[in-house]
Structure 1
Amino acid sequence: MRDVDYAKLGLKAGLEIHQQLDTNKLFCNCPSDIREDAPDKTIKRVLRASAGETGSVDIAAAYEMSKQKHYVYEYYNDTICDVELDECPPFNINPEALKIVLQLSKMMNAETVNQVHVMRKTVVDGSNTSGFQRTALIARNGFIEVESDEKLNRIKIDTLCLEEDAARIISRDQDHDIYRLDRLGIPLIEIATGPDMRTAKQVKDIAGFIGMMLRSTGKVKRGLGTIRQDVNVSIAEGARTEIKGVQDLRMIDTVVELEVLRQLTMLKLRDEIRARIKKLDLSNEIIDLTEYFSDTKSSMIKKNVDSRVYGKFYKDFKGFFGFEVNPSRRFGSELSDRIKAFGLNGLIHTDEDLNKYKIADEVKKIYDALNLDDSDSLIMIIGTEEKCKFAFNKIDETIKSFYDKGLSKEVRNAREDGTSSFLRPMPGSSRMYPETDVKTIIPDLSEIEMPELIKDKVVRFEKKYSLPAQVAKELVFENDFEIFVKKYPQVKPVTIAEILVSTPKEVKTRFNLEIDVELERFRELADNILAKLNSGDLAKEAIIEIMVEYAKGNTIDFSIYKTNEEELISFIVNLISKHPNLNSAALMGETMKKYRGKFPGSRIMELVKKYKGE
């Protein structure tokens, strides 16, 4: 796929980037801390979709509601309040979070709205206790300019929104899901670009550039799960697909490439089905096949002892369900995705290797009993009669729509290998309606300042402080660096950089000891080291030894590293007096045994030669 002609295919791609802001929650003053300790309490909810402003229920919300699940929410007494539980109205928008989004709007040349109105976006997948997500449009019609594919690309920024993050999924079961409310309500900025990207590389480069702009504010959370990238992809004969939850920037171009491949192969499959089957007939009955598996050796069927096996055959479909649409993904996988959401474990089809399920003999008996041709395919589902019949209806709807119209607009879930799986239909306009519990805000831009972009800061650090490029890139996230440079003028900036970035890595490499540079204890250690370097009470050579002792968990006694040149000179003079025949190298070796780490080696050699008379 690396050499594909995207222009010929008519590729259009865009991004929706969701970044957590490093503030308290959006509509209350609870901390935005993700916790792993045991929750204090749980509540149970059943969610139903409401009609939006158009008077109709959104298609995606209706799909989620059709799963007929209930939801369990875990929470903590000390960091979760009634707002997250949907037991009281929200408070006003967090002003700090709003200021960050206004700052980014300015950075992206966007037009700020005259009034900020909070809206409710219907979400009934259980990720919000209220059944909706609060979101507010802050700015629109912006642009950024990004170098990619050896040219400068102007990318439209359609909207910048401020919204609340969803609850965190803990586990899923057939009839219920469990969520934790620590993430619900964390402020998110949502940045939506126009469909202006024409290659997979452009998508990756532009996502990276936007991420750099976000980090340049110094006010966004960092770490796994704090930023999520949704990628919108379409080709000329395909359909718009939104792939949600790409967390690793390095995978974005692969995700785009594989989605283009999926759409191309799906279109090829549609053409092959149409060529073989001139008139699609899906009227065959759903059959209870349980009796054929009464003596089965299949562990998959045995473990579902209270369920039944239902099947349906599809005339002349042989080979179609096994048609590969992505690496390790087949048309059968696409159909299976659509029924797993309803508490079923997927499906079995006869294009698979039935020996791996230990049901090849049973299926042969079924084919013989039903007089099926080798050109026919059989799909089997294990579950209750109600769920299996519902699942076959979904499968038939999907096949018919695919045969008649080709690909449909849908939301898909990103997988670790870059492929994706069906999540739900593409939502429509019916999911939004006003939030009446939050007052309208008039945005104030008078105090909004533009931060220095990280890419510009890296260049400045390289030039101003004579730092290597890689060290400069790491230091741009260290707010203490320039504070220390101003605070300790007698210490070279390169030395400060080494203490904050390079030396902890050296300790790990040489001694296999970890130093967490994010801890406040490390900041205090760095401050103490620099203070003593600045006053001349510590030699640079002692830093590595001090860091090793710190990494071992030992208390640092700086007095043993204190420098006293008069004492050093006295030691050298006495050493020469006792051993007048030793050469300078030998005298240097003896002196270093006692004063290594307290004085630079060059200074010790200088004094040895001076008092040796060389």
Structure 2
Amino acid sequence: MADEPQGDVHRPSALDPEQLGFMCGIEVHQQLATGKLHSRESGELYDITIDTLPDDWPTFERRLRASRGEGGAVDVAARFESKRNRTFVYAQSPNAGLIELDEQPPLALDSDALDITLTVAALLSAKPVSLIQTMRKTVVDGSNTSGFQRTSLIATDGVLETDAGPVGVDVVCLEEDSARKLDTVDGPQGQQVIYNLDRLGLPLIEIATSPDVVSPDHAKTTAMALGRVLRRTRRVRRGLGSIRQDLNVSIGAGDRVEIKGCQDLNWIPTIIRLEMARQLHFYRLANELRADLGLPPLPPHRESDNAEIEAQVALAVAEHLPLSLHDVSSLFSSTASGMVADGLASGSSVMALPLTGLQGRLGTKTSDEDGAQLPRLGRELAGAAKLAGVKGIFHADELPAYGITADEVKAVRTHLKL
């Protein structure tokens, strides 16, 4: 059985990766210096913002709807996205044609892009697949007009040599890049997201490593080594935004979390250490809350989870926190909070959710040794709420604040019978 995880979340730099059961893999996405992958349009990128968008660029409006896939099931993320009531507007750049608008079937893979990808696979000693097939990954944020991203598996089972030892390369793929977001506008009919189609369809080579990274610093050197391999082809794009690292991080007491879009290699060790501290903090918080309810604690390692016990815990938590929302808008009819007053004036409501037993555990704004904010449950809940279209949440541990008075907080607590 795994040992209880040790370490102080106030000192992320002192956490011991080995003792915590640290696992990490890297995904690198590199733009190739060719034309677009499935059309013969150029790969030119235009220095355009929402304020400088040319008037002569046509725009098209779309809505994405969830539909059943080949397996007969509706993708969970697609179903969630369809409920967000968002409209997508696409600005057609000069290098965006019918294929980028999803009005024409895609052409075959660009031969130059395929050649570069096979070259990179050879440099990584990866084995090319016998048959290249283009697959579809569901994309639900509107960044692809078709609602999916075309991806082709090119090679598998490679290896990258690093100073700390070999790192396995699981897959080398060739895929298309997404459209660039220009703006998000809130309106009475929901959000409107505006995209520029100049980047949509640019070839990306994706390299995914095995979870062989042994430390946060090793993750940085691994990313640097992958970058050197890509640059050896002399056929990849350079500059900000041309390469992106995604980090898959977990400790034994946590779950795998994918941290997307890290572009500065120097930040990789810090980002990983902060994620280790976050997972350790929430493991301990979960066991504190379980102890309060007389429930079995989480085991020190996720591989020791017991499905039957966790099902019983879920039932007990559902009974303790029934998640019943209360409309408390009337309690804020004369509020001095600008955010709340503006929301009410626009027709929104103030909803309250009682979270019995969480007072003092939602978190206050305290920092670690390097000045970074410590993990807070309130921030995690706010992130989930924003995904559902909520602009933000206030929680009891940070109030009174933001113009909300102590009397208003007391009135809400009385209404909720807390």
State TM-score, norm by structure 1.
0.58
Letter aligned with residue 264 of structure 1:
L
Partner residue of 2:245 out of 205, 226, 229: 229
Distance 2:327 2:161 in 1: 60
Match of 2:175 in 1: 163
Q: 1:317 aligned to 2:328?
A: no
Contact 1:324 1:331 in 2 (8 A): no
State the Cα distance separating 1:310 from its structure 2 match: 1.1
Contact 1:49 1:122 in 2 (8 A): no
Q: 1:124 aligned to 2:170?
A: no
Distance 1:196 1:293 in 2: 53
Distance 2:213 2:326 in 1: 48
Q: 1:52 aligned to 2:64?
A: no
Distance 1:196 1:63 in 2: 33
Provide, for residues 386-429 of structure 1, a one-character-per-residue CA deviation record: whole Å limited to 9, x for no partner: xxxxxxxxxxxxxxxxxxxxxxxxxxxxxxxxxxxxxxxxxxxx
**Per the alignment, in what secondary structure is the counterpart of residue 158 of structure 1?**
strand
Contact 2:399 2:409 in 1 (8 A): no
Distance 1:284 1:344 in 2: 16
Q: 1:185 to 1:289 in 2, by over 3 A?
A: same
Provide, for residues 233-276 of structure 1, a one-character-per-residue CA deviation record: whole Å limited to 9, x for no partner: 11112101111111111111111111111100010110111122
Distance 2:323 2:67 in 1: 36
Aligned residue pairs: how many? 367
State the Cα distance separating 1:323 from its structure 2 match: 6.1
Letter aligned with residue 167 of structure 1:
A
Letter aligned with residue 152 of structure 2:
A
Provide, for residues 23-51 of structure 1, a one-character-per-residue CA deviation record: whole Å limited to 9, x for no partner: 11101121112211524111111112343
**Per the alignment, in what secondary structure is the counterpart of residue 257 of structure 1?**
helix
Contact 1:323 1:331 in 2 (8 A): no
Q: 1:144 aligned to 2:155?
A: no
Match of 1:287 in 2: 326
Match of 1:547 in 2: none
Provide, for residues 413-451 of structure 1, a one-character-per-residue CA deviation record: whole Å limited to 9, x for no partner: xxxxxxxxxxxxxxxxxxxxxxxxxxxxxxxxxxxxxxx
Distance 2:184 2:24 in 1: 31
Match of 1:335 in 2: 381
Q: 1:240 aligned to 2:256?
A: yes
Partner residue of 1:75 out of 92, 108, 115: 92
State the Cα distance separating 1:58 from its structure 2 match: 2.6
Higher fraction of helix: 1
Bigger radius of gyration, 1 or 2? 1
Partner residue of 2:281 out of 247, 258, 265: 265
Contact 2:62 2:89 in 1 (8 A): yes
Which has the higher relative contact order, 1 or 2, with Cα contacts under 8 A spaced 6 or more apart?
2
Letter aligned with residue 131 of structure 1:
G
**Per the alignment, in what secondary structure is the counterpart of residue 350 of structure 2?**
strand
Contact 1:162 1:190 in 2 (8 A): yes
Distance 1:342 1:325 in 2: 27
Partner residue of 1:3 out of 11, 14, 18: 14
Match of 2:82 in 1: 65
Q: Residues 287-436 of structure 1 correspond to what in structure 2 (within 5 A)?
A: 287-304=326-343, 305=345, 306-322=347-363, 327-328=372-373, 329-372=375-418
Match of 2:151 in 1: 135
State TM-score, norm by structure 2.
0.84
State the Cα distance separating 1:369 from its structure 2 match: 4.4
Distance 2:153 2:366 in 1: 37
> Identity of paired residues, percent?
42
Partner residue of 1:172 out of 176, 179, 184: 184
Moved beyond 4 Å, runs of 4+: 323-326
Letter aligned with residue 319 of structure 1:
G
Q: Residues 152-231 of structure 1 correspond to what in structure 2 (within 5 A)?
A: 153-174=165-186, 175-231=191-247
State the Cα distance separating 1:129 from its structure 2 match: 0.1
Contact 1:164 1:184 in 2 (8 A): yes
Contact 1:266 1:325 in 2 (8 A): no
Partner residue of 1:38 out of 42, 53, 56: 53
RMSD of aligned alpha carbons? 1.7
Contact 1:273 1:320 in 2 (8 A): no
Contact 1:48 1:65 in 2 (8 A): yes
